Amino acid sequence: MWRRAAGACVALLTAWIAGAATTPPPPLPAEHLTVATLPERSPHWVFGYDSSVSNETDYRIYVYDGDQHRDLGQLDVGYYAGFALSPDHRTTAIATTYFSRGGHGTRTDVVEFWDNTTLALLPGEILLQSKRAQTLPSLYNVHYSADQHFLYVTNLTPAASYSVVDLAKRAVVAEVDTDGCVLVIPSAPRRVSSLCENGRLLTVTIDDTGHESSRTVSAPFFNVDKDPIFVQGIPTAKGVTFLSFLGDVYAVDLSGPEPAFAAPWPIVTAAERDRWRPGGTQPAALHEHLGRLYVVMHKGGEGSHKQAGSEIWVVDVASHRRLARYPVDVAKYGGAISVQPSQDDRPLLFVATENSSLLIMDALTGRLQYAEPKLGQTCCYLINP
């Protein structure tokens, strides 16, 4: 009797399972093809500049959300692109080069403009002379004037100069010969400073037509042979700050008619000097409100200034005191090459690595929140959009 009842139960269970397996789920609803729209800009976004080293005619800038941990879209920016964010943050200007037949054909240098609210290319490119500088990214290869009237584009043929682009006239209106000095570091109202090979700073005043009206050359403010500064300058409220290969901070005040140079100060102790050094593609960045400098650091000697770092050092600019050392898991993610904090009160610290990973840390504690395993091909220079 007991066996007969058990058999009946098994039969019932088998029938139920078979029935469940043959009942199809409801069909998926039809989809409508759409184009995603970009959400409101968040302070936790970052632009990741990718030089696509294995196919360099195809540089990109990725737009990445550090809260959602996702890629939001990209800008196509051509060959050895220079970039500049407009002061109102609505536009990204790209000075770049294209070839008429892909990797060859006629060279065209041009400025293109991207709408940062839609990631769409705006109509109205501006042609440049085919002489713009093709070099590694920095914030000062291309730059807007503070009033957004001009765009300055560094040239190198290898003779050094820069083009002055009038954004209302949509044309290059002047070229300033910089006598070997490079980069365009603007200051209000119409001044542009450039770094010179002897450690001096050239500052040219531009008139309303875009032409040079006067120039000054400073005394040398750093020693090019003994301890050069990285060209990846860090914008500050009053000017620009540079970091040297050995770890000295050079703050330049560009708010007055003549540049003023603060006494350099070290981020390393005497015992650390020449053992720990800044390095990478974007060695340092500033959280302006907190006054904290974030620096990619590695152990190394002469010639190691592009070496990836194993730590991020956090330095208080006012007191010159080191606040923290954030370790980077080099074995897991590769060494750090670039650093950029968001500028809000709950700042994220974006760190790009030599493996093109993007690490997202709490900028106040160094706690790793997320690691994006691969952003682009050979990302990154990191920009606050």
**Distance between alpha carbon 69 and the CA centroid of its chain, in Å?**
18
Range in contact with other proteins (rule: CB under 8 A) among 33-41, 117-125, 131-139, 316-324: 131-139
CB of 47 to other proteins, least distance (A): 20
- Of the pair 227, 288, the CB lying nearest other proteins is at 227
- Of the pair 63, 195, the CB lying nearest other proteins is at 195
381 binds other proteins (CB under 8 A): no
Which of 110, 119, 121, 136 is the binder for other proteins (CB under 8 A)? 136
**Distance between alpha carbon 27 and the CA centroid of its chain, in Å?**
46
Residue located via tokens 């040079």:
212
Round to whole Å and give the CA distance between 71 and 51.
17
Rounded to 5°, the CA angle 171-156-385 comes to 65
- Of the pair 66, 82, the CB lying nearest other proteins is at 82
Cβ atoms of 280 and 336 closer than 8 Å: yes
Structure tokens at 246: 């050995």
Q: 3-state DSSP call for residue 60?
A: strand
CB of 299 to other proteins, least distance (A): 16
180 binds other proteins (CB under 8 A): yes
Rg of the chain over Cα atoms, rounded to whole angstroms, equals 26
117 binds other proteins (CB under 8 A): no
Query: At residue 294, what is the residue type?
Result: Y
CB of 277 to other proteins, least distance (A): 12
Structure tokens at 293: 């400098």
76 binds other proteins (CB under 8 A): no
160 binds other proteins (CB under 8 A): yes
304 binds other proteins (CB under 8 A): yes
Which of 72, 217, 224, 330 is the binder for other proteins (CB under 8 A)? 224
- Of the pair 222, 326, the CB lying nearest other proteins is at 222
319 binds other proteins (CB under 8 A): no
Round to whole Å and give the CA distance between 294 and 352.
13
Which of 31, 40, 88, 302 is the binder for other proteins (CB under 8 A)? 302
Query: Residues touching other proteins: how many (CB under 8 A)?
Result: 42
Q: Of 274, 319, 316, 318, give the one whose Cα is nearest residue 297.
A: 274
**Distance between alpha carbon 200 and the CA centroid of its chain, in Å?**
26
Residues making up the chain, counted from first to last: 385
Q: Of 29, 26, 45, 9, give the one whose Cα is nearest residue 385.
A: 45
CB of 229 to other proteins, least distance (A): 7
Round to whole Å and give the CA distance between 34 and 352.
32
CB of 211 to other proteins, least distance (A): 16
22 binds other proteins (CB under 8 A): no
Kindly report the number of other CB atoms within 10 A of residue 365's CB atom: 12
Cβ atoms of 296 and 339 closer than 8 Å: yes
303 binds other proteins (CB under 8 A): yes
- Of the pair 76, 115, the CB lying nearest other proteins is at 76
Round to whole Å and give the CA distance between 108 and 125.
12
Round to whole Å and give the CA distance between 166 and 360.
38
67 binds other proteins (CB under 8 A): no
54 binds other proteins (CB under 8 A): yes
53 binds other proteins (CB under 8 A): yes
Which of 89, 107, 169, 226 is the binder for other proteins (CB under 8 A)? 107
**Distance between alpha carbon 146 and the CA centroid of its chain, in Å?**
19
Round to whole Å and give the CA distance between 352 and 339.
6
Which of 38, 42, 57, 273 is the binder for other proteins (CB under 8 A)? 57
103 binds other proteins (CB under 8 A): yes
CB of 116 to other proteins, least distance (A): 27
226-255: contacts with other proteins (CB under 8 A): 228-231
Contact set with other proteins (CB under 8 A): 53-57, 79-80, 97, 99, 102-104, 107, 133-136, 156-161, 177, 179-183, 195-197, 224, 228-231, 302-306
